[in-house]
Amino acid sequence: MAEQKRDYYEVLGIAKGASEDEIKKAYKKMARKYHPDLNPGDKEAEEKFKEVNEAYEVLSDPNKKARYDQYGHAGVDPNFGAGGAGFDGGFDFGDLGDIFGSFFGGGFGGGRRSNPNAPQRGESIRMSLAISFEEAAFGCEKAVTVDRMEQCDTCHGNGCAPGTTPEVCPDCHGTGSVQVRRQTPMGVFATSSPCTRCGGKGKIIHQPCKDCHGTGAVRKRKTIQATIPAGIDNGQTISIRGQGHAGVNGGPAGDLLITITVRPHELFRREGTSVLCEAPITFAQAVLGADLEIPTIDGKVKYTLPEGTQSGTTFRLKGKGIPSINGRGRGDQYVTVYIETPRNLNKEQKEALKKFAESVGDNNYEERKKFFKKFKK
């Protein structure tokens, strides 16, 4: 029954106004203490472990936590529209390294909170770009358009109206967090939470900039020239430094990350730096040899086909493949020829072909003779 359950905050040993970070740290501590692997055969520890996970499942979910804070256990009871608590059995003991950071007077050092006003690097922007087979092979310049956050020109990033400056928060003194200390049997227990007065920012803006509304950044559309290197392959990503979202508090901007998609080619396909293609030849060309015009990514080249070429033969065009992306040479092109059987022969052509076949017999077909020789065995 819901009314028989212990208060979830009591289960985790935290105050009702605890922050998300405090809830997580308390959960790690309690889960570590009662985990079945560390308490084999201890039924009481097993029940407390379930209780800890049930409490964390509710308090770590903002919606469930709000219902619980308002209605208690009834607010998260399945009969009241909220899902019941559960545990997926997974727990990462590797995350336990920092769970003792908020203890004082009990033999442990105090945890540190990063300065909210320190320079922070802006987020990177990811996008994809489709290019042709030839553009990937030889490189190209592409204009790409991105929507990104840039520093506000009006307030120069401080979020204040011109002529004004932000005030250092008098409650947290610019740290963005406040600490509450409680005496416990283990010593003095200190919890840290975001300052409610400044919202964890460490400063208060009394007159926000009218253009950025106090954020210090505005969204702008920017066209950027991207240099696509020769030899880039499908799925590879290039990075353009400093073309991402603007940094915070004077920090550097993020990067623009462009993932390349290479459109398929009608004739060629690629394997590494090699270009592969197939070319049809006539029966006469295969028998007598011929001078062929072979398409490459550089244009047409001539190739002398030797007499007696078999269907499926592959030959190499050296240096006609893809340039290496590191600039060290080029791959080769491999051309596989196949004999196309003629269709719709007229009567005279068929008669001529029959006479040819009769005159040749099996003497000139080495693979055919080998095949039927094996078959007879």
pLDDT, tens digit, for every residue of 204-240? 999 999 999 998 999 999 999 999 999 999 999 999 9
Instruction: Please give the pLDDT value at position 32.
Output: 84
Of 268 and 83, the one with more pLDDT: 268
DSSP string for residues in 117-167: TS-BPPPPEEEEEEE-HHHHHH-EEEEEEEEEEEE-TTTTTS-BPTT--PE
pLDDT, tens digit, for every residue of 62-83? 888 888 887 777 777 755 443 3
DSSP 8-state class, residue 5: S
Indicate the burial class of 148 (C-beta count within 10 angstroms; 0-12, 13-18, 19 or more).
Answer: buried
The CA–CA distances, whole Å, from 114 to 119, 177, 200, 249, 250 equal 11, 10, 11, 13, 16
Of 246 and 85, the one with more pLDDT: 246
Spatial neighbors of 214 by CB under 8 A, at least 6 apart, are: 159, 160, 205, 208
Is-contact 192 170, C-beta < 8 A? no
What is the distance between the alpha carbons of residues 145 and 193, in angstroms, rounded to a whole number? 40
Share of the chain above pLDDT 90, in %: 50
295, pLDDT greater than 90: yes
Give the residue-averaged pLDDT of 360-364: 78
Instruction: Please give the pLDDT value at position 317.
Output: 97
3-state secondary structure of 25: helix
296, pLDDT greater than 50: yes
Least confident of 92-96, 130-134, 239-243, 245-249: 92-96
Share of the chain above pLDDT 70, in %: 86
Rama region for 250: left / alpha / beta (φ>0; ψ in -120 to 50; rest): left
Give the residue-averaged pLDDT of 135-153: 95
Instruction: Please give the pLDDT value at position 57.
Output: 87
DSSP 8-state class, residue 208: B
**372: how many CB neighbours lie within 10 A of its CB?**
12
What is the distance between the alpha carbons of residues 345 and 361, in angstroms, rounded to a whole number? 21
84, pLDDT greater than 60: no
**Most confident segment among 102-111, 160-169, 176-185:** 160-169
pTM of the complete model: 0.62
Instruction: Please give the pLDDT value at position 354.
Output: 92
Q: Which residues pair with 279 in a beta bridge?
A: 337
